[in-house]
């Protein structure tokens, strides 16, 4: 049997002869991350057609342009399989229903569009897919969904993209931007209104670190601008409740894996001091899988990936290597 594929690194780009910056203990955040040149020529599924990247466009009347009125998912393809496909399709559909989209495409229709796109690009591994469903084109500009009369627009954007974080450990800061409570913007809707996250990421970039932690309105840790957070204390896992963070699919997989190896998992409100003084901290997300955290707000968490994080990374690698929806021939 083939060994589990590498996760928690971006080494696979090098296999394609692409020069990348090696992960360093204190990653530079001043320049944009490296790009795989093959992505210049990808075929994109948009509005029911598969077209070359240069022609992949939505109307200026599209709801995503007018108001960020769209829902989305990020998925990964490993060894000819799409990991956690059903969970992503379910979250996409539920997000669209929560936003009262009309004529939501069926999960089967989205699945077919995804597979068609992967086939058109001959993509079977090391691929990240951004699925976006916008409320669609409006008959006139404005925010009123009654101006949407032609149904949603599905975008399937697949790119060659290994996990985005290096192996040297992440450096985080705490952002001044708060994660909105459900009364403002429910984190259980995976919407494309990402300005809060982008503002937090700008703060991280300006501070020269990898990402930023958003607190909830009461000052408890919610998540980072792009990932869920876990800490390890006395051998047990703790993660913020999903009241103020996206109930991430990687988060849920990690919680199941931990339970399988008898590591206790606690979902609760967690203060920043607990993260600052944790034995280990790691982030989870489809884009970057599991990534260990070296430093938060200048406090050292660890010099190397911790034992519990390492064990979960190994189990995650084995899981993505064997589970997922097979891309039909």
Footprint of ligand PLP on this chain (CB under 6 A)? 74, 197, 223, 226-228, 246, 248-251, 284-286
Query: Nearest approach, Cβ of 40 to ligand PLP (angstroms)?
Result: 24
Nearer to ligand PLP among residue 251 and residue 305 (C-beta): 251
What is the H or E stretch that residue 12 is in?
helix 12-15
Q: Minimum distance from CB of 254 to ligand PLP (Å)? A: 9
Least distance (Å) between residue 291 CB and ligand PLP: 12
Beta carbon of residue 223, minimum distance to ligand PLP (angstroms, whole number): 5
Q: Look at residue 272 and give its three-state secondary structure.
A: helix
Which of residues 159 and 223 has its CB atom nearest to ligand PLP in the complex? Answer: 223
SS3 96: helix
What secondary structure does DSSP assign to 156-206, as a single string? EEEEE---SS-SS-EEEEEEEEEPPPTTTS-TTS-BS--HHHHHHHHHHHH
Q: Residue 137 or residue 292: which is nearer to ligand PLP going by CB?
A: 292
* Distance in Å, CB of 232 to ligand PLP, minimum: 18
Nearer to ligand PLP, 111 or 251 (CB): 251
Spatial separation of the C-alpha atoms in residues 186 and 219, rounded to whole Å? 17
Give least dist CB 197 to ligand PLP, A.
6
In angstroms, the Cα distances linking 321 to 7, 127, 243 are 10, 14, 31
HSE (side-chain half, CA atoms, 13 Å) at 179: 28
Q: 156's torsion region: left (phi>0), alpha (psi -120 to 50) or beta?
A: beta
Token pair 């084109």: residue: 137
Q: What is the rounded distance in angstroms from the CA atom of residue 92 to the CA atom of residue 190?
A: 7
- With respect to ligand PLP, which residue has the nearer C-beta, 69 or 137? 69
Of 98 and 120, nearer to ligand PLP (C-beta) is: 98
């Amino acid at each position: 049997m083939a060994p589990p594929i590498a996760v928690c690194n971006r080494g696979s780009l090098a296999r394609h002869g692409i020069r990348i910056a090696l992960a360093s203990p204190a990653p530079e955040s001043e320049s944009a991350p490296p790009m795989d040149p093959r992505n210049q020529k990808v075929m994109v599924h948009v509005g029911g057609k598969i077209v070359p990247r240069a022609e992949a466009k939505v109307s200026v009347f599209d709801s995503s342009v007018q108001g960020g009125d769209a829902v989305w998912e990020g998925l990964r393809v490993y060894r000819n399989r799409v990991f956690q496909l059903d969970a992503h399709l379910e979250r996409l559909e539920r997000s669209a229903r929560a936003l009262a989209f009309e004529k939501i495409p069926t999960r089967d229709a989205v699945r077919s569009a995804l597979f068609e796109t992967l086939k058109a690009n001959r993509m079977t591994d090391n691929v990240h897919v951004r699925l976006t469903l916008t409320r669609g084109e409006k008959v006139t500009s404005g925010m009123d969904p009654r101006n949407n009369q032609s149904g949603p627009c599905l975008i399937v954007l697949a790119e060659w993209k290994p996990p985005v974080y290096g192996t040297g450990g992440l450096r985080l800061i705490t952002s001044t931007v708060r994660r909105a409570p459900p009364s403002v913007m429910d984190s259980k809707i995976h919407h494309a209104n990402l300005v809060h996250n982008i503002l937090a990421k700008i703060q991280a970039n300006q501070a020269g670190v990898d990402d930023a932690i958003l607190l909830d309105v009461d000052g408890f840790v919610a998540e980072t601008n792009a990932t869920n957070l876990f800490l390890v204390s006395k051998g047990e896992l703790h993660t913020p409740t999903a009241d103020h963070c996206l109930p991430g699919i990687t988060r849920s997989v990690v919680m199941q894996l931990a339970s399988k190896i008898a590591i206790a998992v606690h979902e609760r409100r967690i203060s920043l001091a607990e993260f600052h003084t944790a034995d280990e901290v790691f982030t989870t997300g489809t884009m970057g899988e599991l990534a260990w955290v070296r430093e938060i707000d200048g406090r050292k968490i660890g010099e190397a990936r911790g034992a519990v994080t390492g064990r979960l990374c190994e189990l995650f690698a084995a899981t993505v290597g064997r589970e997922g929806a097979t891309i039909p021939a």
